[in-house]
Structures are given as C-alpha cells and as structure tokens.
C-alpha cells in the first residue's frame, strides 16, 4: 500500500488561525501533538493497519447520526475482536479475553473443559493461541 501522500504530511504545515473567540487553543495544540504522533507512527510502521477505537463516552445513544469527538493518543498495540468485545493486548484481562474467544463459550473451551479448572500450563497455552493483530491504534475520545 502506497503511503507516500500521508508520510509527506507535516503537522507544522497546518495551523489554527483567524478570529476564534471560542477555541481552546491548549486543546487544539494537544490534538496537533496527537496527530503529529500518529503521523510519526505511520512513517515508522508503514505496513501496519490503522484502527480507530472510539471511547464509549463519545456516543451517548443511537438517536443521532453524528457525534463530536476529539483526536486522542496513538500507539502501536495488538488487538483481538472476540465474540462480544474488542480487546487491546496492552490492557487485556486474560479471563475476559478467554471467555470471549470464538472457541470458548461461557467458561468452557472448545473441548468442553471448564477454563477455570485448567492447569496453569493449559490456561497459558489457550491464551497464547489468541490471534492478536498488530496495528496502529488511534484513540477517539470525548
């Protein structure tokens, strides 16, 4: 995938100008720093997919089509999409991930074994089999 256009961007090419009495320039500067970090991660990791993740506080309900959010931090992390949840490896709870595996259901693994009765070795083997995907994660926040 050609990332030439994106990697040629420089956050210093963009600035906030004009007569904006309601702008919080500290917030704008913070978002510019987040965008700069994002562009740097793209340059350093051109082959990784980009995955925006939206904080639950952004969308209060489904009564409207658009919601205003802020650009948050970006990082290289790994993720797994389970049956019911999205998991980031950096803050994953092993029990939560194992219960959300396609091969596990409500505390039981593919073979019908109670995952809470597995030995430490079996537990670790099951967790090591999780198919994490490495990506640039972009946090979209309220």
Between the two ends of the chain, the Cα-to-Cα distance in Å is: 31
**What is the structure's pLDDT at 22?**
54
Pairwise pLDDT comparison (27 vs 41), residue with the higher score: 41
pLDDT recorded at residue 135: 98
State the average pLDDT over residues 79-92: 93
- Taking the C-alpha atoms of residue 128 and residue 80, their distance in angstroms, rounded to an integer, is 12
Alpha-carbon distance of 18 to 45, in angstroms, equals 35
Rounded to two decimals, the pTM is 0.74
pLDDT number for residue 24:
73
What string of DSSP letters covers 7-73?
A: HT--GGG----S--TT--HHHHHHHHHHHHHHHHHHHH-TTS-EEEEE-TTT---SSSS----EEEE
Q: What is the reported pLDDT for 16?
A: 47
Relative to beta strand 86-88, strand 50-54 is unpaired
- What single string gives the DSSP state of each residue in 95-111? HHHHHTSTT-BTTB-TT
Domain locations in the chain?
A: 4-141
State mean pLDDT over 43-57: 91
pLDDT band at 23 (very low <50, low <70, confident <90, very high): low
| pLDDT number for residue 25 | 77
C-alpha distances out from residue 53 to 1, 74, 75, 87, Å: 22, 10, 11, 10
% of the chain exceeding 70 in pLDDT: 84
Q: Which of 18-22, 55-59, 68-72 is modeled with the greatest confidence?
A: 68-72
> Closest Cα to residue 134, out of 87, 90, 78, 51?
78
The C-alpha atoms of residue 134 and residue 64 are separated, in whole angstroms, by 32
Mean residue pLDDT across the chain: 82
């Amino acid at each position: 995938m050609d990332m030439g256009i994106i990697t040629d961007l420089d956050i210093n090419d963009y600035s906030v100008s004009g007569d904006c009495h309601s702008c919080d320039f500290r917030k704008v500067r913070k978002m510019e720093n987040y965008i700069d970090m994002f562009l740097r991660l793209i340059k350093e990791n051109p082959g990784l997919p980009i995955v925006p993740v939206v904080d639950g506080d952004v969308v209060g309900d489904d009564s409207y089509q658009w919601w205003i959010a802020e650009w948050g931090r970006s990082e290289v992390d790994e993720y797994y999409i389970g049956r019911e949840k999205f998991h980031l490896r950096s803050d994953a709870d092993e029990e939560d991930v194992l219960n959300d595996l396609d091969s596990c259901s409500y505390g039981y693994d593919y073979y019908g074994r109670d995952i809470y009765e597995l030995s430490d070795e079996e537990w670790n083997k099951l967790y090591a089999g999780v198919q994490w995907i490495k990506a640039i994660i972009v946090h979209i926040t309220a």
